[in-house]
Homo-oligomer: A and B are copies of this chain.
Amino acid sequence: MSAPVILRDPVHGLISFAPTTPGPGDPYRLLVRLMDTREVQRLRRIRALGLASLAFPGGEHSRFAHAVGSAYVMSRYLERVRSLADELPAHDRIDSDWEAIALAAALVHDLGHGPFSHTFEHVLPDARMHEDWTSQMLLDPDTEVHRVLHEFDPQAPAAVERLIHGACPIRHLARAVSGTFDVDRCDYLMRDSHMTGVRYGLLDLDWLLASLRLYLPAGASAATLAVDGAKGLTAVEGFFLARFYMYRQVYLHKAVRAAEVMLRGLFRRLHELHDAGESVPGTPDALAAMFRGAQLSTEDYISLDDALLETAMWHYARGDDPVLRGLSQGLRERKLFKSVRVRDEVSDEEVRARIDPLVAELGLDPRYFAGIDRTKTRAYVEDEALVVLSGPRVQSLLEASPVIHGLASEVYTSHRAMFPTQLRHAAADALEDLR
């Protein structure tokens, strides 16, 4: 029996992935082999929080740490489901093969992320989402991830890919990989909160798992995720509150959004220049091809990581194009746009009409050096696949919890005009009546 892999983790403490059976079919042996593939190792070079570390210096962890953490949370979920096996119909139990698929899915679910994580999905108007790239990497026979899975079981690459997208005969497992309340979110909420220091400690994994149940509605054939009474309610509220606070304080932080607006401007400029047939020194081939509209190979996509993009920005920061130069310097030296919140109903045109002339006066191009950021997300969207068991009663989360009820009426919005820091006062004055 090979030695267990024991990792120390700032969030979960001791993580132990220990095979318990001798053969190659052991779920944890597969997991450990997958960790060593080059596609998974690439995640070390992609920061999980993208540009957010500009505002939260602690938030510098990579997607690799998060991938390992997600697999750990999955291992705890599997252990919990095992302890509930007596209450479950046969087809809702998870055998060793499904354990392997589930652990693999948790580890590789984010494989397709590009540089700076989510921002990269907006690199082009029609850029593919990271989920597509994850699928492609799993299914491409030339990737190491594919080969390792295929050796385990020729069906495994497809099974993992389907599970990540929510397709799985064991319904509750599909939800645990990809639902409102899944192992991915459990890990990233805990990790992002711990690392940024925005610690509300709301997400208590031990307690959450201890109060997790699987509930078989009368007449139904498949069990559904449930939490147990008052203690479970608290745990699950903690999960959604943690999400709420992370959005409010980190993910939608104005400086983080400002950096994203700058990066998108930079991508837009690159796109236009390439579209116009220009070549931009310092741009990696894969990126240049992408901006010219070519379809990237898996191999090319894999080459894209934070380091490559940082290096490209270093070139731009000393290059000839004033837009690329200005935005790259700003991002590298944390000279971020400032912003002013404007009322929801104010139109982009109205804002632009006030801001653009100010930017132009500075000799900057307002198409790139001014921006409007508008986001709108609900704090809680009812999820019928998660119920609360209170003695004999079965309730929806919304019925059972006034806290969730409060969240359900909350929409995070960010509607901000953004501009170079020199305009801080002028822009505030110009936008006074729109705030």
Contacts and interface: CB of A to CB of B under 8 A. Distances in A.
A68 B210 CA distance: 19
A162 interface: no
Nearest to A209: B14
B198 A201 contact: no
A128 interface: no
26 contacts: A6-B210, A7-B197, A8-B198, A9-B57, A11-B58, A13-B206, A14-B197, A14-B206, A14-B207, A18-B83, A36-B335, A37-B333, A41-B332, A44-B54, A44-B57, A45-B310, A57-B62, A58-B61, A199-B201, A200-B201, A379-B402, A392-B435, A402-B406, A402-B407, A405-B409, A406-B407
Interface string A29-61: 000000011100110110000000110111011
A337 interface: no
Interface of A: 1, 6-11, 13-14, 16, 18, 36-38, 41-42, 44-45, 53-54, 56-58, 60-62, 64-65, 68, 83, 86, 194-202, 204, 206-207, 210, 230-231, 234, 238, 241, 244-245, 248-249, 303, 305-308, 310-311, 314, 332-335, 341, 379, 391-392, 401-407, 409-410, 435
Contacts of A234: 200, 245, 248-249
A334 B36 contact: yes
Identify which of A11, A61, A401 gathers the most chain B CB atoms within 10 Å of its CB.
Answer: A61
A204 B200 contact: yes
Contact of A8 (B56, B83, B241, B335): B56
Contacts of A198: 8
Contacts of A54: 44
B204 A202 contact: no
Nearest to A380: B402
Nearest to A331: B41
A341 B391 CA distance: 10
Contacts of A200: 201-202, 204, 234, 238
Nearest to A69: B57
A129 B332 CA distance: 25
B307 A10 contact: no
Contacts of A402: 379, 406-407, 409-410
Contact of A231 (B53, B244, B249, B404): B249
Contacts of A1: 86
A410 B400 CA distance: 11
B64 A57 contact: yes
A197 B13 contact: yes
A233 to B, nearest CB: 8
B61 A65 contact: no
A368 to B, nearest CB: 21
Contacts of A36: 333-335
A266 to B, nearest CB: 16
